[in-house]
């Protein structure tokens, strides 16, 4: 399984960007996908996730109300729409996938996720 994250770029504070995470390799639907981000000198941080079955979405507090995670199972693609971007959102964004439905308490842990994309840079200028 290979994940390809794309859509990053440079945007001014208050602007929007949309990230995509596309899967290739084994045919499956991206039912369990998370987005993480990592700023220079900082640990990888959970951003958002979507889970199979209940379709519940999860967000870290700092992005609630601004970011939206969604998926298109037919395209094996998951999206992260980011609005009202702030300079502190600047980071490399990674998508990650897990074949089996993770328990909710483990979603925010990077170790929960099996497959990772290469990351896409998001830079928000002030």
Average pLDDT over residues 74-78: 86
Average pLDDT over residues 73-86: 92
Average pLDDT over residues 26-39: 82
73, two tokens = 């199972």
CA–CA separation, 12 vs 126, rounded Å? 6
Q: Are 29 and 76 in contact (CB under 8 A)?
A: yes
Q: What is the pLDDT of residue 26?
A: 64
CA–CA separation, 6 vs 126, rounded Å? 23
Q: What is the pLDDT of residue 41?
A: 94
93, two tokens = 């964004």
Does residue 28 register a pLDDT over 60?
Answer: no
**pLDDT per residue as tens digits for the range 80-113:** 999 999 999 999 999 999 988 899 899 999 999 9
39, two tokens = 């700023």
β 45-50/91-97 pair status: unpaired
Does residue 13 register a pLDDT over 70?
Answer: yes
């Amino acid at each position: 399984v290979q994940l390809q994250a794309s859509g990053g770029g440079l945007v001014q504070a208050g602007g929007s960007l949309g990230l995509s995470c596309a899967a290739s390799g084994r045919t499956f639907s991206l039912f369990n996908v998370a987005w993480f981000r990592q700023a220079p000198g900082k640990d990888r941080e959970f951003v958002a996730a979507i889970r199979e079955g209940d379709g519940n979405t999860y967000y870290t507090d700092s992005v609630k109300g601004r970011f939206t995670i969604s998926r298109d199972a037919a395209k094996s693609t998951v999206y992260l729409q980011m609005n009202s971007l702030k300079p502190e959102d600047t980071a490399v964004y990674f998508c990650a996938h897990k074949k089996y439905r993770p328990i909710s308490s483990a979603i925010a842990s990077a170790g929960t996720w099996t497959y990772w994309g290469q990351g896409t840079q998001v830079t928000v200028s002030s």
